[in-house]
């Protein structure tokens, strides 16, 4: 009798539910079923993964990600350099998460990047004990910018990264830099806004906030979020913008630092310490969800290999990978992500 009453109650709940609630109930049931049938059920596979597989098949590819191919002499560099070899062993863990979990791939890429930046610091800047965000600043200024200034191909690669940021990433940046979102880590949220002020300048930050009436703890309307994201898109492309009658242009060094410190590092902190919903076990997941994670993964991965390339040059260890191979891998992934964004 009790079971019948429960079923009637469940039927009634379903009748009065919104479509959104019905979808969430369906996906809740899917997650429970997966939990109760694992490991016999195998790897999680739902509509979202099927959507990705169909898109990949339509493109005639099996992966979005493209590894940086190492040089023939890579073994002679990695084998005697234990720390570098350890970092490399972590990098190739990324491939085991693909194509379905680029978010987990990002976790690995960022962890490898942090390990390598600290390794570089221990040799190049042993007296520098400042925080991670300062280390990002130094790598941009002292390792990335010299390459950008001396090689047009490298500049064009990073400008493309900054010009083709998915709108979902831009929305994330606005929410985390200007709004204390409910998924953010409370004690970190203020630090993100402070980093954004330092990089964009307090004046530009204040003008953006005033123009769109962005307030902490107040969720902006979809239109305000869209328009503010499109303004940020122009800023990160290096375009001259006028905000509240004031003109601004942000140079490439600051734009790269903004992406590292205010977007990638914030996403890393949120995933490691925050309260987030699994992005690919949700009814909200689409191809744009994949584009979001793949973009952040690709940016981190290419940044890491560029630093490794510079480190090997500086230490005269030999060529672990050619700069051309980094550029080729980056271009391949950029083109695939661009196509995915168009489809998504």
Summarize pLDDT for 252-301 with one digit per residue, the tens. 999 999 999 999 999 998 887 766 788 888 888 899 999 999 999 999 99
Q: Indicate if the alpha-carbon torsion angle 80, 83, 86, 91 is positive or negative.
A: negative
Query: Are 287 and 343 contacting, i.e. CB atoms less than 8 angstroms apart?
Result: yes
pLDDT at 289: 94
Residue 41, pLDDT score = 86
Q: Measured in whole angstroms, how far is the alpha carbon of residue 344 from the centre of its chain? A: 17
> What are the distances in angstroms from CA 182 to CA 63, 206, 217, 219, 273?
33, 22, 8, 10, 13
Beta bridge partners of 242: 247
Chain centroid, CA 253 distance in Å: 18
pLDDT of residue 325: 98
Work out whether the CA dihedral 194, 303, 185, 132 comes out positive or negative.
negative
CB 204 within 8 A of CB 248: yes
- The span from the CA of 15 to the CA of 25, in Å, is 12
- Asked whether the beta carbons of 56 and 343 are under 8 A apart, the reply is no
CA distances from 143 to 45, 147, 294, 313 (A): 41, 7, 24, 11
Q: What pLDDT, on a 0 to 100 scale, did the predictor assign at position 315?
A: 95
* The pair of three-digit structure tokens given for residue 276, joined into one six-digit string: 């987030």
Q: Specify the pLDDT at position 51.
A: 93
Is 265 in contact with 132 (CB distance < 8 Å)? yes
Comparing CA positions, the residue from 25, 32, 117 lying closest to residue 303 is: 117
Query: What confidence tens digit (pLDDT) does each residue in 92-104 have?
Result: 999 999 999 999 9
Judged by DSSP in three states, 252 sits in helix
Low-confidence residues of the chain: pLDDT under 50: 1, 182, 184
C-alpha to C-alpha distance for 136 and 254, rounded to whole angstroms: 11
User: If we measure between CA atoms, which residue out of 39, 106, 98 comes closest to residue 297?
Assistant: 106
Measured CA to CA, the distance from residue 262 to residue 199 in angstroms comes to 9
Give every CB contact of residue 105 below 8 A, 6+ residues apart in sequence: 65, 94, 95, 97, 98, 293, 297
């Amino acid at each position: 009798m009790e079971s019948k009453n429960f079923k009637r109650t469940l039927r009634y709940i379903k009748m009065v539910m919104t479509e959104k609630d019905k979808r969430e109930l369906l996906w809740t049931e899917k997650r429970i079923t997966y939990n109760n049938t694992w490991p016999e059920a195998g790897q999680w596979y739902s509509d979202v993964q099927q959507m990705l597989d169909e898109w990949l098949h339509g493109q005639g590819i099996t992966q979005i990600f493209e590894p940086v191919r190492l040089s023939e002499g890579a073994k002679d560099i990695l084998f005697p350099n234990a720390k570098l070899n350890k970092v490399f062993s972590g990098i190739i863990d990324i491939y085991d998460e693909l194509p379905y979990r680029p978010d987990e791939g990002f976790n690995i890429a960022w962890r490898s990047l942090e390990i390598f930046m600290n390794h570089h610091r221990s040799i190049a800047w042993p007296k520098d004990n400042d925080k991670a965000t300062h280390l990002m600043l130094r790598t941009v200024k002292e390792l990335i910018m010299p390459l950008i200034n001396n090689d047009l191909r490298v500049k064009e690669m990073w400008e493309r990264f900054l010009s083709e940021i998915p709108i979902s990433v831009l929305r994330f940046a606005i929410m985390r830099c200007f709004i204390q979102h409910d998924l953010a880590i409370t004690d970190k949220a203020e630090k993100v806004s402070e980093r954004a002020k330092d990089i964009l300048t307090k004046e530009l930050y204040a003008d953006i906030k005033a123009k769109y009436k962005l307030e902490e703890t107040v969720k902006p309307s979809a239109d305000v979020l869209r328009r503010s994201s499109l303004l940020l898109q122009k800023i990160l492309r290096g375009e001259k913008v006028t905000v509240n009658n004031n003109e601004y242009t942000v140079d490439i060094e600051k734009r790269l630092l903004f992406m590292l410190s205010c977007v990638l590092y914030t996403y890393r902190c949120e995933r490691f310490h925050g309260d987030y919903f699994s992005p690919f076990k949700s009814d909200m997941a689409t191809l744009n969800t994949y584009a979001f994670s793949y973009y952040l993964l690709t940016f981190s991965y290419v940044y890491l290999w560029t630093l490794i390339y510079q480190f090997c040059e500086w230490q005269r260890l030999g060529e672990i990978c050619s700069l051309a191979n980094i550029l080729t891998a980056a271009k391949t992934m950029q083109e695939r992500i661009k196509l995915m964004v168009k489809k998504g």
